[in-house]
Amino acid sequence: MYEEKTNNFSIRNVMIQFLFVALFIFILIWLFPMKSDLKNAINGINKENNVAVFYDQIFNNNVVAMKDAAKSYYTTERLPKTVGETVKMTLGEMLNQKIILPFVDRDGEQCDLVDSYVEVAKHENEFVMKVNLKCAEQENYLLVYMGCYDYCQTAICEKQTSDVKQPVVYPTKPVETKPVVNNTTINNVTNNNTTINNNVTNNNVVINPPVKPVEPDKPDKPTDPEDPKDPEKEYEWEYVKKIDNSHWEESDWSEYSTTPVQADQYTAVRTKTTKQKVLVGYNVTTATDKSKPIYSTEVKTIGTETILTCNKYDYVSTGETATGDQWVYVGTQTFYEKPNQAGYKYEFVRFVDESCPNNCTSTVGRIYKVWKLSTKNLSEYKCVEPVYQTIPLTTEVKKITGYETTTTKTPVYETKEVKTYSYKKRKYVTSIKEDKKWSTYNDTKLLNDKYEYSGQKREK
């Protein structure tokens, strides 16, 4: 009997101890995670961080793309001319001018086309370009310093990093949750199917609630005048009431166009998508017309010919003379008859008393000065070195080099969905007028009707 009790007690103790050991191990496993669990948790954290870094990299690349596009666009002619002057171009304008390709944010949505912009300001010795990009959940900007430096390859260029700190993209701004205004929730669909900030609505209308401009500070309320106690004079006081007729004015809806329009607090936008035929290219066919040949002219040699040519021309004397146009003095001569010979001219000098040597009838001689008209040899311009030359004889021959072709262009259309935009503008018109009345002191009816003393009084 003793041995049986001993065996029963031993088995029970072993079972109890085993249960305690198993429970202890389970508690240890529950309290202290295993190495694989820790590794999986760390990998999950790293994965989330890598995704965040990837999204930030996409945003930074978009900012740099805007910067590079603006640098190529702002040539010397487009930069501001005076110190303090700025020029600005929105992302929407950059897309319209095709100087940058469209891009999206981390959620695949288009970034803000108005609040995303590039602005260039002129300073004393350089330009500072601010590149601001605003998307749904991020808004960053960087500054680029540009000018005419010694190392520029063009008119102006970006300042080297050794001269200025590298432009840094500032930390992103958290998206603020705006309050509900007139049953229209910001960034959420309301009962009237109208959303804010470019959300698509059931009636294709996107409206941002207009922000009422801040009214100027009202002047201090005039103090109540003291009631004079002059029994001999009666006064009346001027009361003033400001009536605010300020209101919003809206324009008519514009015609639909394909130009994107960004909604803001002053612009309401509606869109519609229609299927339209869009020209995508042409089918070009070319046909050859054999009845319309194209000719070219070819020169061929058919023989030779010997001709007399001249290597040199010169003046050659003809052996003849001609009367010149100058008188040459010959001398004095004695004549017993009056001289009259062609080609000569005479000038009488004096008489001489002597006999005529040839038994002439006159016995008185006359002395004359004599001039003779000059003569010149005649010549002609002629060939002095004739030579024979052999030249080829040619003729023109027509031959067919091709045929006229007819090109036909047939337009090719595709039916595509085209998104069009219509918008209307609104503006806040401030209209405050004063209503003035004169009455007795402490006119409770006017005071209760929100009239105030202006501080002016007059004698009745």
Could you tell me if 392 and 303 are in contact, meaning their C-beta atoms sit under 8 angstroms apart? yes
Report the pLDDT value the prediction gives residue 259, as an integer from 0 to 100: 92
**What is the identity of the amino acid at 363?**
T
Of 58, 140, 157, 72, nearest in space to 105 by CA: 58
Q: pLDDT band for 240, please (50, 70, 90 cuts).
A: very high
The single residue listed with the structure tokens 């998104």 is 419
Q: How many other β-carbons are positioned within 10 Å of the β-carbon of residue 352?
A: 11
Compute CA distances 439 → 172, 243, 368, 409, 445, whole Å: 61, 19, 141, 88, 10
Distance CA 126, CA 108 (A): 37
In this structure, are strands 117-122 and 86-90 parallel, antiparallel, or unpaired? antiparallel
CA 82 to each of CA 121, 129, 200: distance values in angstroms, whole numbers, following the listed order? 9, 15, 43
Query: Would you state the pLDDT for residue 318?
Result: 81
pLDDT tens, position by position, 137-168 = 788 898 988 887 766 766 678 877 655 544 44
User: What does the pLDDT look like over 308-342, one tens digit per residue?
Assistant: 888 888 888 888 887 777 888 888 888 877 888 88
Tell me the per-residue pLDDT of 77-93, one tens digit each, with 9 for 90 and over: 888 988 889 999 999 99
pLDDT at 355: 61
Q: Say whether pLDDT at 255 is over 70.
A: yes
Q: What is the pLDDT of residues 162-198, one digit of tens each?
A: 555 444 443 444 334 333 333 333 333 333 333 333 3
Please tell me the predicted confidence (pLDDT) of residue 155: 64
- Contact of 119 with 132, CB cutoff 8 Å: yes
Kindly give, in sequence order, each residue whose CB lies less than 8 Å from that of residue 444, ignoring residues fewer than 6 positions away.
none
Of 29-33, 119-123, 319-323, 329-333, the poorest mean pLDDT is in 29-33
Q: Percent of the chain beyond pLDDT 90?
A: 15
